[in-house]
Structure 1
C-alpha cells in the first residue's frame, strides 16, 4: 500500500534553506505536478483510516485544499478552508500559525458549535499549526472526529500526543542532504 506515495517521496527534490533541508513534493508544494493516481491512493487510504462520523471537512491552506476536495468528492461532505488571510465574516476566528520555517496567522470561518469535523493537512513538523487550530475549535465548541496529516516530519506529532491531541499520519519521513528516507508508514 501507499506505493505511489512512497516512490514519490523517495524521488522528491531537496533544497536547503539555512540549516533546514526541505523536500519538494506534490502533496506539500503542488510541484512537481500532483498526479491523479497519487491523490486517489492517498484519498482511499485516508477514508480507510478515519471515522465516517463527520459533517464537515477542514482543510488548512494551501495544500490541504486538494486533499479536502478529493475527500469531499468521494463522501459528498462539504469542506471549509482555514485561510491565511481574513475575510472579516461574522464569527471569524484568528489564530497564530508557526511551522518549521515560517510564522503567520490563520483564519477560521464557517465552523460552529457542534460541528463534527475531519481535519486534513499535508505535513506536520512542529505541530504548531494544529495546536493553534485545535484550541480555536475547542473554543468554538466544534467536535474534531479525526485529524489526518499525510506526511510526518520532526517531533510535532509526539508533542501533540503529549498534549492529548491525536493526529493520524500516513508516512513518517526524515530529510537530509541525501534525500528523503521513509521511517514508518501506515499500511
Structure 2
C-alpha cells in the first residue's frame, strides 16, 4: 500500500467539544498507534526534506516533538525543542503568542541556534499559527532563519498557514481538514 492509497485522515480522530464547546480537536494518537501509518508519515517527510538545505529541526511542545524527533534522527540533524513556559532548565528566550483558547509563552534555550543556522520547524498541526509564529520570532532573534513550517495537519480556515506565508514562511502539511469535517 502506498501513501497515496492510504488515508491518514482515517487515523486522525475527531474529538467534538474538546477542549471547549464548538471545537473539533484533531487527535493524532491513533496515527501513532499504527506502526505502518507512522512509518508512512515519517517517510513522507523524510523524502521531502532529505536533500533540503537546512541545519536544524525545531519541534513544538508537545505533539510536534513526536514527529520532529523522528525526522531529526532520520536526517541526522540537531533537534531544537520549543517548550511551553517554565519547562526548560537553562537560559531561555521567550515569546508570547495568542492561541485559539487564550495566550501563552513559548521558550527555547538561548544557545540552541547560531547566526546563519537554517531551521525546519515541525508541529502536529497548523491552526491559528500562533505557536509556529512564536517559534519563527525566537529563531530570528537568534540570527537563524526558517526554511519551512511543516505539520501533519493544516486547518486552513483558522488562517495559520496564511499568516505564516504572509510572514515569508513556506508551509507544508500532509493533509488538511475543514473546520466541520468529522
In structure 1, what is the Cα distance between the partners aligned to 2:26 and 2:150?
20
Q: Deviations over 1:158-178 (max 9, x none)?
A: 2222232221111110243xx
| Residue of structure 2 in register with 1:183 after alignment | none
Q: Deviations over 1:78-122 (max 9, x none)?
A: 2121011333524x2101132222421111111222222111111
| Cα distance change on mapping 1:165 and 1:145 into 2, 3 Å | closer
Given that residues 129 and 161 in structure 2 are in contact (C-alpha distance below 8 angstroms), is that contact kept between their aligned partners in structure 1? yes
TM normalised by structure 1 equals 0.80
Q: Which ranges in structure 2 are unaligned for 5 or more consecutive residues?
A: none
TM normalised by structure 2 equals 0.82
Greater relative CO, 1 or 2 (CA 8 Å, sep 6+):
1
| Residue of structure 2 in register with 1:117 after alignment | 119
In structure 1, what is the Cα distance between the partners aligned to 2:41 and 2:31?
17
CA RMSD of aligned residues (A): 2.2
Q: Deviations over 1:60-93 (max 9, x none)?
A: 0100111012112212222121011333524x21
| Residue of structure 2 in register with 1:89 after alignment | 90
Number of residue pairs the alignment of both structures matches: 172
| Cα distance change on mapping 1:102 and 1:143 into 2, 3 Å | same
